[in-house]
Structure 1
Amino acid sequence: MIFKLLRKLKKRATAWVLCCAGFFLFNSQLIAAPQLQGYVMQVQLTPAVCALDSSKQKQRKCLEGYSLTITGLLPETTERGCATNSSASLSPLQAKVVARVMPEENARIQLWRSIGGCVPMNASQYFRTVINLADKLKVPADLTSSENKNVQYNVLKNQFVKLNPGMNNNSIRFTCQNPLSNPVLTEVQVCYRVNGQYKQCSNHIVSNCPNTFSIKGTY
């Protein structure tokens, strides 16, 4: 199954489709390591973040109207120090592909330098893994709509599970800003085994969204 990650164009209010099927082959051997317990992919709802955080409004993801961006694929590991000095450089072609889901180059470099010491791959392999997992993941239409939506926690979670074979209700977590008043969904966290299959999220990965919250479609 091919996942098409959508972003909205601010001026046109239309969807731009990322489809990189077949561009990268997922190699589970690259991400298997004894000290790793899994990975957590952070999918950011960009319109909400851009609207709520004025410091980010001049970033590319806000200016170009992305609806979803990936802020990280974080390793779950017993290691305490994950920083690395290894290169985060990518080929021009790979950098262009990665920018479709991670548009800020500086953020990408900082991410790699903060977690690269805990993943058994180089930067190129790591970002290929990000793209492959993004390509696989299907998201409910409400997350990429140009309209503001009010949704129920369980309904949205069940939509994810229905769209993604192998995922269960414990494979996904939601993060909201202002969870006690006017809660807005800002991030979805998806949990994976080291082989790229969905798994139950660890206990320290929690949702803070109430039963009903909003999804911001425009900014």
Structure 2
Amino acid sequence: MAKQGCLEHSASLIVSLLIAIGFLVIFSSAHAQPNQSPSRGYILHVQMTPAVCALDPNRKKQRKCLEGYALTVAGLVPEGRYTGCETTSSAILPPLQAKVVARIIPDEVSRIQLWHSVGDCMSMSAVQYFRTIINYAQRLKIPAVLTDASSHTIQRQTLLAQFLKLNSGLPADGIEFSCQNNHGTTLLTHVSVCYNSNGSYKSCTSHELSNCPKNFTIQGTY
């Protein structure tokens, strides 16, 4: 009987220990830092380069402005309001990949700064991160009006309809437009597209809202 009592006591201790471990795992998961939790998706920010160059004199000496790029990628960021995403990990890319990335992020300093500002929230290396950007950018079809040499005034719904027609599977609330005023003219500065973590298009979360009016101007490349 004494031996049986010891066995029962040991079994009770094991069960208690397992329960305690379970609570510890749950508690640790609930208190994980934002940059440690799985991302719900990503947002690709495409920059209307002529508009950005016109608005910010400090950028005019950058390669993207000097060489007349129509579009560049401003970044790929995790969806949600993340903080503490800075990293000191290397942003060095293999020469061939760096050459490909330069087609959409022409300034190397900008590329390095981008990685160092978001890398700790991306759950991937710099090589994987910029490969993901290239994959998303190559698949995204851009309306011709955004790369025209001339400036255009366009309705927001018209531009949205063009994006939806060109990109199968992109929902109407999966793309947002950002604008900025320039001496009385509202310029389109960024187009943001929302993705699931597997690369498919998705609806943007409620805080990713467009600030563009019904009509705005697309700055020409010249």
Q: TM-score, normalised by structure 2?
A: 0.81
Residue 68 of structure 1 corresponds to 71
The correspondence of residues 44-59 of structure 1 with structure 2, limited to 5 A, is: 44-59=47-62
Relative to structure 1, is the Cα distance of residues 40 and 179 closer, same or farther in structure 2, using a 3 angstrom cutoff? farther
Q: CA RMSD in A?
A: 1.6
Contact 2:152-2:219 at 8 Å conserved across structures? yes
Relative to structure 1, is the Cα distance of residues 167 and 179 closer, same or farther in structure 2, using a 3 angstrom cutoff? farther
Q: Deviations over 1:20-56 (max 9, x none)?
A: xxxxxxxxxxxxx962011110100101111121110
The correspondence of residues 17-96 of structure 1 with structure 2, limited to 5 A, is: 35-77=38-80, 80-96=83-99
- Are 2:138 and 1:135 aligned? yes
- Are 2:108 and 1:105 aligned? yes
How far is the alpha carbon of 1:79 from its aligned partner? 5.0
Residue 161 of structure 1 corresponds to 164
Contact 1:67-1:144 at 8 Å conserved across structures? yes
- Letter paired with 1:139: I
Residue 33 of structure 2 corresponds to none
- Letter paired with 1:175: S
* Cα distance in structure 1, aligned partners of 2:75 and 2:60: 19
Residue 149 of structure 1 corresponds to 152
SS in 2 for 1:135: helix
Relative to structure 1, is the Cα distance of residues 218 and 80 closer, same or farther in structure 2, using a 3 angstrom cutoff? closer
- Letter paired with 1:210: P
Relative to structure 1, is the Cα distance of residues 180 and 40 closer, same or farther in structure 2, using a 3 angstrom cutoff? farther
How far is the alpha carbon of 1:145 from its aligned partner? 0.4
- Letter paired with 2:149: S
Contact 1:179-1:209 at 8 Å conserved across structures? no
Which deviates more, 173-182 or 137-146? 173-182
Contact 2:69-2:221 at 8 Å conserved across structures? no
Q: Which runs of 5+ in 1 are unaligned?
A: 1-32
- Letter paired with 1:45: M
State the structure with bigger RCO (CA 8 A, min sep 6), 1 or 2: 1
How far is the alpha carbon of 1:181 from its aligned partner? 3.5
Q: TM-score, normalised by structure 1?
A: 0.82
Q: Deviations over 1:56-105 (max 9, x none)?
A: 00000000110000010011257532111111100111101000000111
- Letter paired with 1:146: A
SS in 1 for 2:116: helix
Q: Bigger radius of gyration, 1 or 2?
A: 2
- Count of paired positions: 187
